[in-house]
Amino acid sequence: MMYHLYHIPGKKIGVTCDLNNRVTKQQGYKADEYEVLLSSDDIDYISNMEIQLQKAHGYKVDRKLYKNLKPITDMKINVTEQTTTFPVPVNKLKGRLMDNIGMSWNTEHGELNITTATIDWIMKNVKTSMYNNDRSYVYNKAFARFYDNNDVYPRTGALSMGSKASKKPLKMFENIREWARVRGLYDEGNPHTQYVKLQEEAGELAKALLKDDQVEVVDAIGDMVVVLTNLAHLRGVNIETCITSAYNVINKRTGKMVNGTFVKDE
């Protein structure tokens, strides 16, 4: 895993293995509002550097080394026939959900899980427990219907044009996701590492094409699809939805072939 030592000028120096979720989504800073000072897969080195740089820049120094912090994961939720109850109040729920991305649980209405997309739905529909103000809950049936209606994915960019994924994910993609889940890729990996992996596989495809090696071409394309499936999942969206979204855009395009490439009309 790659750890990043980041600096928000005038605010803090910290460490994370997921800049997008930790700095952008949770803390609200855009990419041009912070800088990455160091990146390393050596957690001991990055932990010690965090403390040294916090002292050097006059920021608050963490009491514990990053490597000794125990992340708050796998919330002890309470699942009944009707509801899923979270052990935190509404005003603290979003941060706790962000810390538990990838977590899933079973209900009578099917499996539910936490992704960047479902967090949005949960926060719009969560209610404070009538028995304890420090607890909050959502209705399982409504949450499950959210999936059934294909609204589980962020409605931004191309997805806002009304594209929808198949209600039943393709078995092969489900197999890929299960393979990755069992091996801890969704717990330990992140979109950035998957992007680097995608570039590696693209390089293998380029070599295979140059050598006219059909076996390696098939293998490289397959590897790229696997990586893209996992990258999409880590971003809280199924690859089936990405493909559907892209097709809904290109199937309306007109154009012509120029030097072996399709050039769309303006």
Q: What is the pLDDT of residues 131-182, one digit of tens each?
A: 899 999 999 988 888 876 654 343 333 333 333 444 445 678 888 888 888 8
Place of tokens 């529909």: 125
pLDDT category of residue 263 using cuts at 50, 70 and 90: low
**What are the tokens at 125?**
């529909």
User: What's the predicted TM-score (pTM) here?
Assistant: 0.40
Give pLDDT, residue 155. 35
**Secondary structure (DSSP) of the chain:** --EEEEEETTTEEEEES-HIIIIIIIT---GGG-EEEEEES-HHHHHHHHHHHHHHTTPPPPSS-GGG-----S---EE-SSEEEESS-HHHHHHHHHHTTT-EEEETTEEEE--HHHHHHHHHH-EE-SS-TT-EEEEHHHHHHHHHTT--S---GGGGGS----SS--HHHHHHHHHHHHTTHHHH--HHHHHHHHHHHHHHHHHHHHHT-HHHHHHHHHHHHHHHHHHHHHTTS-HHHHHHHHHHHHTT--EEEETTEEEE--
Of the listed ranges 14-18, 149-153, 180-184, 195-199, the one predicted with least confidence? 149-153
pLDDT digits (tens, 9 = 90+) for 72-120: 456 789 998 899 999 999 999 988 888 787 788 888 888 888 877 788 8
Q: What is the mean pLDDT of residues 237-265?
A: 75
